[in-house]
Structures are given as structure tokens and as C-alpha cells.
């Protein structure tokens, strides 16, 4: 059966003109890594950051002579932001013999491919997704998630704010009407409450105010927030929604009404879009802020390469995380000399190295990323050419906030 | 309360600005134009290129929007000439797919020209803060949008129902064959209305630019709501669309007051109810 | 390849008629589909299987559109209902009754379609019916996205492929090829039923209603009931296709009820050919080939898909099936003239 199938495969490969070069290429040198991400539709911007990060990583590694003398080849596929698209891309590349994958942005598309990893003997790096399902109920050994779980990065966020600003005891929250963002506000609230309780304080966390996803007008919700009487505000909106929201909030002078404003994860995207109309001061979590990374040549090299490619000194955090995904695979292949999952999985579990985002290491039990957390505060600046600047950044160890490992089971 | 409804009315008028062109092209050609949202977005991008990060004054904004509307209108004529007019004698649903394809092309072209990054353009000075009316704080730009919506409606209504060219367009829409016999240049009339419809999309894009964030998903934000508006109002009926936009605003206001946990859901419920009560739209389907 | 083959055939045997040529082509296509697991890798096999399911789903939609003259923009909602029924039942451990689950999916689709039809059909037609169904499926998508027990926007994942138990025999559908063949068999059964319905008295009744609703009423056809029946059947096909799709993809998400899935049958039908039974299937496969052939050109997908779509629509204004039939007719006529 197997023989006949191989024979048929070979025959079609020779007959089919399109398949022929690929068939031949399978025998040549480079280490092939498949990248599946969203490269069309509304999510394309994040997919492009991931593609940039991975391509720059490959370029940097190949410029150093590759891994054990072998160059890396990146094969990019668009998941069309659908589980179907991700499955087609994964099965195509896996059927073609690709054993190493990076996949990112939207959780549902990642969840679609996870059940296929083991039977295809694939090692996959999941880029950036914060969903708990990936390392809990949908856990599989062949996957490493280089991304920040909500309890870790937003629980840590709540903790940091409670620690730095103990005087603010009344918080309002705003989020888009999407369940995955509920995990984020829940984690922020839990982290804040835990730290306040440890310090013997009470905090009042108001119910999150919901806004429509991809909405056109947020003024009603903005006025609700400004009338809430809260002193601190946590905004959990994404991308264009977040920018529209801050922009429409300006006529309400929202930033004057709150002593402290926190954005979830839009980091400098907000400042870059708003320019000199940026709010006075805003906190945000970020996965990679190269200007704060001291003594990190990997980060510096990536930043330089990114500036050369896109002429933008403030890359999105996805670029750094995507780079580190490729770097993780390269590191493990370098130390084992193998691309088989059986060799790579223990190697990645054991290894720890300096990537662009800081120390890259995974928890053995559920392959969660336990890297550094970075929070930045930025805002309007008269002196800066861009109209805004970053005032400070804080780094914390993520491992302190990582949720308990329950691979294969839902976190209770 | 008043404040909620003023904000919702802002949303309603913003949607009306987009829906006006949509209902116009339906009136003359009987097609739901899927590409309308994309050309709306194109108008916004063009305006942002014209005025940079901040328009110098409200007149700069309006002038730049009109210019973008003109450019988008000309593009609409190109689409009409090369695509829509070729599909006049086949099943009307082919036009639907054709406009879908044009939408993909337009979105793709926008992504290639302006990239994927988010951009923001500010309201002109004087419109970036708020005023107090009857003890209620109202953002000035909301008033600008409401004013623009009403103005566009009044102009369109006057042109369609009172002017010579509007009456000709109505005649062509109601019976193209007969008006041809009467010596009216039918194809020219259709071209003019299609051009006006696209131009309205571009104009709306420019006027709403300081209110939204520029991203290649901007068109999707408004398209579905604009569809719902013209359906509730009666397809092809500009007065119906205006009334429907106000109804939409009221529904949205009620949603925020009484169902804050489910933002944006009542609009669908309201639309289903409206359709069951008035199966052809509130003012009935109209050929302009 | 297939066209040149057919042309050669027709040249050799002048007596060959259009139905003859088309039947040969359908037989060839069926054989190719059945042999697919031996011809391709699992990526392409998955794509072909998905396209087959979507093709069946689109044929069901076209039954409503080309025969009853009703354009629904909300069929994705019915597809999603079938898919969620199937996914939930399999995850609850009822996978040995998979055939019953598929029937339940079809039943759920039919039931919801009937409820919608009872309320909507008497009151709305045309574009209004289209937008009404679109809103209902959007409402369903919102509901699914907010239902934690159905996985919110991440949907239900890790759906295992079932082992069928038919009393004495057990059929293992867990591997890719066997489930693929199961799809082929189900598709054949559903398409057979649809063919029988559309080419019998029922189909003619529907056509009469579509052509002239008043005259159809005069000659004693219950217009409302015929349309309702068409809506229910098309709902059953959508639900059934959804139920078969769930274990194939092994994940279902609320996006199944979104506008993309709902507009797919429209796209496939118009591309493949209006008023043609096989049109949606042809459209589905043509679209699949376009997408697969351009998969390496990432980042400019919109432009490519848009341009090809526009070119196809403008080149084949009667859809591919219509243009193909016209071509064959012209060729055979020319030969007859000689």
C-alpha cells in the first residue's frame, strides 16, 4: 500500500509540471520551516509583522552561515484567517515533508492544526497567541507557545499597577465585546486584586464597559467611562478600534479625567497613529521594546535589520517574538543536529538562550513561554520629533505570574 | 439620555453618509454594490493624502473630501464602463459578484498603495473639542457629522425630486426603454447616477476621516450597517434611507441604555422586526 | 486536459451529443475524485474533500435559488447549525451513531429553515429576503461567539473522526482517505436525492413558481408551500453538509455562520453556471483551483482573486457550465453542417 502510494506520488510529481521543482528540492540542502499566518483580510497587519520577524531571523541566521552550515528556507503560507486555510496550508507543507513550523495570530486557526502535529512528527512554534486553550485543554507535546498567556502578562500588569500606584483604588475597564478579551480583563483584575489584598488594601474594580467590535462610534461608552468616577482606567480594545476610541475620547479630555490610564497591548501602535495628538500618558504591555533591551546584541541586530527593511524604528512586538520562534528552532537544531521532533522537543524543553525579547525558555510541563514581561509608559512630548516619546519601561520576570500547568485539562 | 441619542444620531448620520450612495446606485441599476465600502475607504485614504495629519480648517476638510469624491466618482465611471455595463443583459446576481470582485481589487490596491499600518487624521481646529447644549456636553465633531448628513440628504432630495436632471434620472430608473423612446439619453443618465453614487462614497470617506482610524478594514465597519439602513428604509429610496438612519440611531441608543452587555445586537433584531412589519421597507422600494 | 479529451472524442464520433459528452465528463470526474487519495498528498486531499462538501452545500443553495427563485444570504447559519450539532454530539461521545448525527444535523438545518420560512416567506422576497437571512445568520454568529459552552469565538476543536457502527460491521473513518471516501459516498447520496427532486414533478412545480408566480397559483400550485418545501430541503442539505464537515476539519468556529460562508454558494453558483444542476460544483472546484494555484503569492491575495473572478465573470457571462454547453453545441452543429 505504502509502496504503491509512494510510486503514485513520484509519478504525479514527475508528470505534474508544478510539482517537479518541489520534488527535486526535497533532496537539496536547506532546512525548511513553514510559516502559516494571516496574510489577507483584516488581520493581515499582524501576519505581516510575523512574516517580517521570521524572514529577518532567517536572514540573520543565514548571514552567519546558517545552522551547522545548512541555510534555512522559510516557506510562507496564508491561512486566510480561517481554520480551513490553516489546515490546507499545514497539510500541504507537512505532506511535502516540512517538519518545522511556526504559526501565528488567531487562536482558532492554531487550534485547527494542533491535533495534526504528532502524527506528522512536526515541531511547531506558536507565535504570540495569548489563549489559555493552547497550553491547557488543547496541549500537545509537539507545540511550544512563544507567547504570553493572559494570566502571565495581564495578571503581571495588574500586579505592577497595584504596586506602583497604591493610591488608586477605583478602576474602570473597557473592552470590545469579544470573549478572548474577557480573559484579559479578568486576568488584569485578578492580578490587581491579589496584589492589593497582599498589601492589605481594597480595590474597587468596576464591571467592564463593552463596546462593539470593529465599531464606528464609541462616544457613548467613552462618556460612560468618564462619568464612572474611577481614577484608573484599563482599556482592552485592539488595533483600529483602540485608536478610534482614543481619538474620539479626546473631545471628552479623557486623559485629564483619569490619574492613570492603561492600554492592554496596543503599545506604540497608538502613539504612531496619533502622533502629536497622543494622550499625555499611557501604559501598555509589550512583547518586545528594543530601546529598553540593554546588552542584548540579538535585539540590536534585529532592530537594525528591521529599520533597514521597513524604515521604522519602532517595530511591533510581534516582530521580536516571531524572530525568537525561528531562533528557538535554529538553536535546537544547532545543538542536536537533527530536525526530528523526537530530538528537538527535549532540546527545546532544556535550552535557554538570549533572544530578541530576552531570555527564551519554556516550562517543561506544558511548553508555556516563561520569558520577560515588559511594560512601557509613553505619551505626548513637545520636544520629540514624532510628537510623543516613551517615558519609562519596566521589566519583570514572567515566570512569577505564570498560571499553574494543567496540560490536557482546562484551567479551573 | 439626550447625550446618548445625540451620539447615536452621530452614528446614524455617519451610516447615512455611506448609505446615500448605496441606495442611489440601487435605485438606478438594481444592484447591491459590495464595492461601496471599499470606495468609501478609498475616499478616506485619498483625503488623508491630500490634507496630511491635520486639516488646516473645516473648509480644507470639506474641499479635500469633495476632491476625493470627484476622483472616486471618476473611478466609478471606469468601473461602470468596463464592468457593470457589460453585465446589463445577464442575471442581476452577476453584478453582485462583479462588485464583490471590484471590492477585492480596490482593497488590494489600497493595501499596496498605503500599506497596512493604522493612520489617524485629526479633526480640524475648532471641531476637536465640545460645546454645551441645554446643559449637555456635545462633541463638536458629532455636530459636524450630523450637519453633513442632513446637508447631503437635503441636497440629494432636492436634486432628485425638484431638478430637471433628477427627474430625468427618475424617469430612466422607472422605465429606461420608454425614456429612451422619449429622446432621453438613457446610458448617459445611468452613467451620471453611478458616478454620483461613487462620488458620494468618496465624499463620505473624506468627511468621516477625522472620526475613524484609517486601516484596510475601515470599509467593513460601515458596509453592513449601510446595507441594513437602505433595506429598512426601502431600497433605492433616499428619504427612506434617511429615516432608517434615524431609526437605527434610536435603536442603537436604546441598546446602550437598556442592553449595555450586548453592544450592537439590537440593530439586527430591530432590522428583522422592521422587515417583518414593513416587508418592502418603511417607505417602500422605489426606483429613485 | 478534459476539454481537449472531449473535443477529440467528439471529432472521432460525430454522433456524440452534448449530454453524452457531459455524462462522460461527469463519470471521469467521479473516477478522478474517487482515486484522489492515491494521487495527491494529504494537503490537496483535504482541500478536495472540503470543496466537495462545500459543493454539495452550494448545490442545496442553488436548489433554492435556481429552482425556487429565492436568494438566501444566510445559508452559512444553517451550515453552522449542522456543524455545531455534529461537533457537540461527537465530543459528547456519541460518535458511533455518526450516521444518526448527520441526519440530526440535516434535521436541525431543516427545522430552522422551516421556522424562518414560516415567518419570512409570506412577507418578504427578493433582496429583502436576502438581507433578512443575512441578519439572522449574523445574529446566530453573535450568539455562538458569546456561548462559553460552545467555545466562544475559538469554537469547538479536537473533534475526533468517528468509527461508524452499523450493527455487525464497524467502519473506521479516522484516517484521511476513509473519511474522504465517506464524504464522496454522502455527496453522491445527497446529490442523487437533489437530482431526483429537481428533475421530477416537484422541480417542475418550483420552476413554474419561479417563472410566473401568479399563473402558477392559477393552475393550482400552492406557491407558498412549494417555496417553503424548497427552503426546508436546502436547509437540510446545508445542515447535512455542515455535519459532515465538522469531523473533516476537526474544528468548528462561529465564522461558519459568517458572511464569507454564506456568500460562498452564491459565488460558486454564478461562477459555475446559473440554472445548472452541476454549476455550483463546477464553480466550487474552479475557485479551489484558483486559490490553490495562487497560494504562494501571499500578501496580494485580494488583487489576484478579484482580478481572476472579474475575468471569469466577464468572459463567461452565463457561467462556466453555460459557456461550455454553448461551445459544445457550436462544435457539434458545425460538424453537422459539414
Write down the pLDDT at residue C15. 55
**Nearest chain A residue to B209, by CA:** A244
Q: Give me the percent of chain A exceeding a pLDDT of 70.
A: 93
Write down the pLDDT at residue B288. 62
User: How does pLDDT run across B28-59, given as a tens digit for each residue?
Assistant: 888 888 899 999 999 999 999 999 877 888 99
- In angstroms, the separation between the Cα of residue C188 and the nearest Cα of chain A is 23
Does A159 reside within a domain?
yes
Confidence of residue B200 (pLDDT cuts 50, 70, 90): very high
- In angstroms, the separation between the Cα of residue A380 and the nearest Cα of chain B is 15
Least confident residue range of A184-188, A221-225, C18-22: C18-22
Does A135 reside within a domain?
yes
- Does A357 score more than 50 pLDDT? yes
The answer to whether the CB atoms of B120 and A243 lie below 8 A apart is: yes
- In angstroms, the separation between the Cα of residue B145 and the nearest Cα of chain A is 12
Cell (9 digits) for C233: 430541503
> Is A107 found in the same domain as A216?
no
Which of C316, C56, C324, C23 shows the shortest CA–CA distance to C185?
Answer: C56
Write down the pLDDT at residue A141. 93
Consecutive H or E run containing A323: helix A317-336
Beta-sheet pairing, A100-104 with A123-128: parallel
- Does A6 score more than 60 pLDDT? no
**Nearest chain A residue to C150, by CA:** A179
The answer to whether the CB atoms of B268 and C266 lie below 8 A apart is: no
Mutation for C interface: A78, A105, A121, A412, most C CBs within 10 A: A78
- Mean pLDDT for each 10-residue chunk of chain C (338 residues)? 48 64 87 87 88 95 90 93 96 90 96 92 79 88 89 88 83 87 95 93 88 84 90 96 95 90 88 88 92 84 87 83 85 71
> Is A160 found in the same domain as A60?
no
- Does A231 score more than 80 pLDDT? yes
**A101-124 mean pLDDT:** 92
Write down the pLDDT at residue C296. 85
The answer to whether the CB atoms of B53 and A275 lie below 8 A apart is: yes
Q: Nearest by CB to A240, from B10, B118, B261: name it.
A: B118
Write down the pLDDT at residue A136. 92
Q: What gap in Å lies between CA B120 and CA A250, rounded to an integer?
A: 13
Beta-sheet pairing, B136-139 with C169-172: unpaired
Instruction: Dump the DSSP string for C258-289.
Output: SHHHHHHHHHHHHHH-TT-SSHHHHHHHHHHH
> Is A163 found in the same domain as A69?
no
Confidence of residue A26 (pLDDT cuts 50, 70, 90): very low
- Does A336 score more than 90 pLDDT? yes
Does A411 reside within a domain?
no
Instruction: Dump the DSSP string for A175-196.
Output: EES-HHHHHHHHHHHHHHHHHH
**A146-172 mean pLDDT:** 93
Domain extent, residue A14, equals: 2-148+295-370
> Is A332 found in the same domain as A196?
no
- Does A13 score more than 70 pLDDT? no
The answer to whether the CB atoms of A77 and C42 lie below 8 A apart is: no
> Is A377 found in the same domain as A242?
yes
Is A228's Cβ below 8 Å from some Cβ in B?
no
Q: Nearest by CB to B83, from C119, C127, C310: name it.
A: C310
Write down the pLDDT at residue B287. 61
Residue window 248-307, chain C: list those with CB within 8 Å of chain A.
249-251, 253, 255, 260, 292-293, 295-296, 298-299, 301-302
**A299-318 mean pLDDT:** 93
What CATH number corresponds to the domain at position A323? 3.40.50.2300
- In angstroms, the separation between the Cα of residue C285 and the nearest Cα of chain A is 15
Mutation for B interface: C74, C131, C307, C314, most B CBs within 10 A: C131
- Does A113 score more than 90 pLDDT? yes
Q: What gap in Å lies between CA B83 and CA C160, rounded to an integer?
A: 46
Write down the pLDDT at residue B266. 86
> Is A193 found in the same domain as A96?
no
Does A202 reside within a domain?
yes
Cell (9 digits) for B136: 449637555
Q: Is the dihedral of CA A213, A217, A219, A220 positive or negative?
A: negative
> Is A320 found in the same domain as A382?
no
Write down the pLDDT at residue C121. 85
The answer to whether the CB atoms of C131 and B93 lie below 8 A apart is: no
Average pLDDT of every residue of chain A: 88
> Is A102 found in the same domain as A40?
yes
Which of C113, C115, C123, C106 shows the shortest CA–CA distance to C75?
Answer: C113
> Is A305 found in the same domain as A165?
no
Average pLDDT of every residue of chain B: 88
Does A406 reside within a domain?
no
Which residues does residue A144 pair with via DSSP β-bridges, in sequence order? A125
Q: What gap in Å lies between CA B109 and CA A132, rounded to an integer?
A: 37
Confidence of residue A80 (pLDDT cuts 50, 70, 90): confident
User: How does pLDDT run across A379-412, given as a tens digit for each residue?
Assistant: 999 888 889 999 999 999 888 899 999 998 888 7
- Does A251 score more than 70 pLDDT? yes
Write down the pLDDT at residue A362. 93
Residues on C contacting B at a C-beta cutoff of 8 Å: 71, 119-120, 123-125, 127-128, 131-132, 134-136, 138-139, 142, 146, 259, 263, 266-267, 270-271, 274, 300-307, 309-310, 313-314, 317-318
**Nearest chain C residue to B268, by CA:** C135
Task: Judge contact between A196 and A223, C-beta under 8 A.
Answer: no
Phi and psi of A295, rounded to 5°?
Answer: 55, 40
Beta-sheet pairing, B136-139 with B213-214: unpaired
Task: Judge contact between A108 and C145, C-beta under 8 A.
Answer: no
Alpha helices (H) in chain B, listed in sequence order: 2-29, 36-51, 58-82, 92-114, 140-162, 164-174, 176-181, 186-208, 218-233, 238-258, 266-277
Does A156 reside within a domain?
yes
Going from N- to C-terminal start, the domains of chain B cover 2-277
Tell me, letter by letter, the H, E, C secondary structure of C96-140.
HHHHHHHHHHHHHHHHHHHHHHHHHCCCCCHHHHHHHHHHHHHHH
Q: Give Cα separations from A138 to A116, A118, A135, C76, C190 (angstroms).
A: 12, 13, 6, 27, 34
Q: Nearest by CB to B32, from C127, C138, C300: name it.
A: C127
> Is A267 found in the same domain as A175?
yes
In chain C, how many H helices and how many E strands?
Answer: 14, 2
Which of B117, B142, B150, B115 shows the shortest CA–CA distance to B238?
Answer: B150
- Does B223 score more than 70 pLDDT? yes
Local structure of residue C252 (DSSP, 8 states): B
- In angstroms, the separation between the Cα of residue A34 and the nearest Cα of chain C is 12
Q: Report how many domains make up chain A.
A: 2
Does A263 reside within a domain?
yes
Q: Give me the percent of chain A exceeding a pLDDT of 90.
A: 64
> Is A235 found in the same domain as A123?
no
The answer to whether the CB atoms of A178 and C153 lie below 8 A apart is: yes
**Nearest chain B residue to C270, by CA:** B94
Which residues does residue A32 pair with via DSSP β-bridges, in sequence order? A73
Local structure of residue B89 (DSSP, 8 states): T
Q: Which residues contact A14 (CB under 8 A, 6 or more apart)?
A: A20, A23
Least confident residue range of A25-29, A136-140, C312-316: A25-29
Does A408 reside within a domain?
no
Write down the pLDDT at residue C130. 85
**A79-98 mean pLDDT:** 90
The answer to whether the CB atoms of B268 and C142 lie below 8 A apart is: yes
Confidence of residue A53 (pLDDT cuts 50, 70, 90): very high
Least confident residue range of A184-198, B5-19, B24-38: B24-38
Highest mean pLDDT among B190-199, B265-274, C8-17: B190-199
Which position has the higher pLDDT, A346 or A19? Answer: A346
Q: Give Cα separations from C1 to B12, B125, C273 (angstroms).
A: 54, 65, 20
**A359-375 mean pLDDT:** 90
CATH 1.10.3470: does it fit domain B2-277?
Answer: yes
Contacts of B108 in chain C (CB under 8 A): 300-304, 306
Amino acid at each position: 500500500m505504502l509502496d504503491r502510494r509512494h510510486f503514485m506520488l513520484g509519478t504525479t510529481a514527475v508528470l505534474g509540471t508544478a510539482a517537479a521543482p518541489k520534488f527535486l528540492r526535497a533532496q537539496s540542502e536547506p532546512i525548511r520551516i513553514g510559516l502559516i499566518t494571516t496574510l489577507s483580510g483584516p488581520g493581515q497587519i499582524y501576519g505581516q509583522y510575523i512574516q517580517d520577524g521570521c524572514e529577518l531571523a532567517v536572514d540573520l541566521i543565514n548571514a552567519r552561515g546558517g545552522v551547522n552550515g545548512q541555510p534555512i528556507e522559510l516557506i510562507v503560507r496564508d491561512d486566510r484567517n480561517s481554520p480551513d486555510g490553516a489546515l490546507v496550508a499545514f497539510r500541504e507543507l507537512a505532506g511535502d515533508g516540512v517538519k518545522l513550523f511556526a504559526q501565528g495570530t488567531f487562536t482558532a486557526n492554531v487550534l485547527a492544526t494542533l491535533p495534526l502535529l504528532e502524527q506528522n512528527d512536526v515541531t511547531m512554534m506558536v507565535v504570540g497567541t495569548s489563549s489559555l486553550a493552547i497550553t491547557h485543554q488543547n496541549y500537545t507535546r509537539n507545540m511550544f507557545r512563544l507567547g504570553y498567556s493572559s494570566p502571565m502578562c495581564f495578571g503581571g500588569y495588574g500586579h505592577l499597577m497595584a504596586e506602583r500606584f497604591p493610591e488608586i483604588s477605583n478602576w474602570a475597564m473597557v473592552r470590545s465585546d469579544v470573549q478572548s478579551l474577557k480573559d484579559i480583563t479578568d486576568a488584569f483584575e485578578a492580578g490587581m486584586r491579589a496584589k492589593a489584598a497582599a498589601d492589605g488594601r481594597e480595590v474597587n474594580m468596576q464591571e467592564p464597559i463593552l463596546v462593539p467590535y470593529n465599531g464606528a462610534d464609541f462616544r457613548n461608552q467613552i462618556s460612560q467611562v468618564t462619568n464612572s468616577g474611577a481614577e484608573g482606567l484599563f482599556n482592552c480594545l485592539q488595533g483600529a478600534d483602540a485608536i478610534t476610541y482614543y481619538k474620539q475620547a479626546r473631545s471628552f479630555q479623557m486623559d485629564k479625567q483619569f490619574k492613570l490610564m492603561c492600554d492592554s497591548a496596543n503599545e506604540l501602535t497608538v502613539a504612531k497613529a496619533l502622533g502629536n495628538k497622543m494622550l499625555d500618558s499611557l501604559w501598555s504591555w509589550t512583547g518586545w521594546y528594543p530601546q529598553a533591551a540593554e546588552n542584548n546584541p540579538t535585539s540590536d541586530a534585529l532592530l537594525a535589520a528591521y529599520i533597514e527593511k521597513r524604515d521604522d524604528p519602532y517595530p511591533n512586538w510581534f516582530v521580536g517574538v516571531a524572530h525568537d520562534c525561528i531562533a528557538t528552532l535554529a538553536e535546537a537544531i544547532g545543538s542536536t543536529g537533527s530536525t526530528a521532533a523526537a530530538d528537538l522537543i527535549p532540546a527545546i524543553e532544556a535550552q535557554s538562550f538570549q533572544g530578541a525579547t530576552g531570555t527564551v525558555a519554556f516550562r517543561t510541563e506544558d511548553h508555556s513561554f516563561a520569558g520577560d514581561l515588559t511594560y512601557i509608559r509613553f505619551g505626548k512630548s513637545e520636544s520629540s520629533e514624532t510628537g510623543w516619546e516613551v517615558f519609562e519601561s519596566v521589566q519583570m520576570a514572567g515566570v512569577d505570574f505564570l498560571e499553574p500547568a494543567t496540560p490536557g485539562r482546562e484551567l479551573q | 439620555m439626550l447625550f446618548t441619542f445625540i451620539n447615536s444620531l452621530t452614528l446614524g448620520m455617519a451610516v447615512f453618509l455611506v448609505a446615500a450612495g448605496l441606495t442611489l446606485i440601487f435605485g438606478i441599476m438594481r444592484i447591491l454594490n459590495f464595492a461601496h465600502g471599499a470606495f468609501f475607504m478609498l475616499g478616506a485614504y485619498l483625503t488623508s493624502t491630500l490634507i496630511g495629519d491635520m486639516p488646516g480648517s473645516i473648509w480644507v476638510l470639506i474641499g479635500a473630501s469633495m476632491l476625493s469624491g470627484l476622483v472616486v466618482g471618476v473611478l466609478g465611471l471606469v468601473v461602470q464602463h468596463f464592468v457593470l455595463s457589460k453585465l446589463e443583459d445577464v442575471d442581476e446576481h452577476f453584478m453582485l459578484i462583479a462588485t464583490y470582485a471590484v471590492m477585492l481589487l480596490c482593497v488590494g490596491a489600497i493595501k499596496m498603495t498605503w500599506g497596512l499600518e493604522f493612520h489617524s487624521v485629526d479633526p480640524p481646529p475648532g471641531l476637536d473639542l465640545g460645546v454645551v447644549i441645554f446643559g449637555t456636553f456635545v462633541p463638536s465633531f458629532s455636530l459636524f457629522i450630523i450637519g453633513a448628513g442632513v446637508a447631503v440628504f437635503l441636497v440629494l432630495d432636492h436634486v432628485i425630486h425638484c431638478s430637471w436632471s433628477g427627474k430625468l434620472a427618475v424617469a430612466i430608473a422607472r422605465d429606461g426603454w420608454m425614456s429612451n423612446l422619449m429622446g432621453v439619453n438613457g446610458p448617459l443618465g445611468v452613467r451620471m447616477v453611478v458616478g454620483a453614487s461613487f462620488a458620494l462614497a468618496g465624499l463620505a470617506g473624506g468627511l468621516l476621516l477625522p472620526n475613524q482610524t484609517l486601516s484596510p478594514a475601515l470599509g467593513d465597519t460601515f458596509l453592513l450597517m449601510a446595507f441594513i439602513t437602505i433595506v429598512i428604509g426601502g431600497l433605492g429610496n433616499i428619504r427612506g434611507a434617511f429615516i432608517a438612519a434615524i431609526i437605527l440611531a434610536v435603536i442603537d441608543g436604546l441598546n446602550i441604555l437598556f442592553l449595555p452587555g450586548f453592544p450592537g445586537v439590537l440593530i439586527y433584531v430591530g432590522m428583522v422586526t422592521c422587515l417583518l412589519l414593513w416587508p418592502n421597507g418603511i417607505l417602500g422600494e422605489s426606483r429613485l | 486536459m478534459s476539454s481537449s479529451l472531449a473535443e477529440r472524442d467528439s471529432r472521432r464520433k460525430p454522433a456524440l451529443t452534448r449530454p453524452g459528452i457531459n455524462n462522460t465528463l461527469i463519470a471521469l470526474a467521479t473516477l478522478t475524485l474517487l482515486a484522489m487519495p492515491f494521487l495527491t498528498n494529504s494537503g490537496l486531499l483535504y482541500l478536495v474533500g472540503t470543496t466537495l462538501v462545500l459543493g454539495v452545500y452550494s448545490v442545496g443553495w442553488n436548489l433554492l435559488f435556481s429552482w425556487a427563485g429565492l436568494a438566501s444570504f444566510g445559508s452559512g447559519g444553517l451550515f453552522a447549525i449542522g456543524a455545531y450539532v455534529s461537533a457537540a454530539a461527537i465530543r459528547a461521545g456519541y460518535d458511533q451513531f455518526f450516521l444518526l448525527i448527520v441526519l440530526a444535523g440535516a434535521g436541525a438545518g431543516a427545522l430552522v429553515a422551516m421556522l424562518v420560512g414560516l415567518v419570512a416567506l409570506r412577507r418578504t422576497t427578493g433582496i429583502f429576503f436576502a438581507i433578512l437571512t443575512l441578519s439572522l445568520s449574523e445574529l446566530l454568529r453573535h450568539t455562538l461567539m458569546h456561548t462559553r459552552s460552545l467555545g466562544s469565538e475559538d469554537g469547538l476543536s479536537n473533534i475526533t473522526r468517528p468509527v461508524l457502527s452499523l450493527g455487525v460491521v464497524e467502519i473506521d473513518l479516522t484516517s484521511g482517505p476513509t473519511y474522504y471516501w465517506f464524504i464522496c459516498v454522502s455527496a453522491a447520496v445527497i446529490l442523487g436525492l437533489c437530482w431526483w427532486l429537481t428533475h421530477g414533478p416537484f422541480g417542475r412545480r418550483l420552476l413554474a413558481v419561479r417563472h410566473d408566480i401568479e399563473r402558477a397559483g392559477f393552475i393550482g400550485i400552492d406557491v407558498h408551500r412549494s417555496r417553503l418545501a424548497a427552503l426546508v430541503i436546502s436547509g437540510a442539505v446545508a445542515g447535512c453538509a455542515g455535519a459532515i464537515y465538522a469531523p473533516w476539519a476537526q474544528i468548528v468556529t462561529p465564522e461558519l455562520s459568517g458572511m464569507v460562508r454564506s456568500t460562498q454558494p452564491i459565488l460558486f453558483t454564478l461562477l459555475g453556471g446559473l440554472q445548472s444542476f452541476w454549476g455550483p460544483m463546477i464553480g466550487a472546484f474552479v475557485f479551489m483551483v484558483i486559490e490553490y494555484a495562487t497560494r504562494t503569492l501571499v500578501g496580494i491575495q485580494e488583487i489576484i482573486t478579484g482580478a481572476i473572478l472579474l475575468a471569469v465573470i466577464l468572459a463567461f457571462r452565463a457561467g462556466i457550465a453555460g459557456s461550455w454547453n454553448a461551445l459544445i453545441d457550436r462544435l457539434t452543429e458545425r460538424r453537422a453542417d459539414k
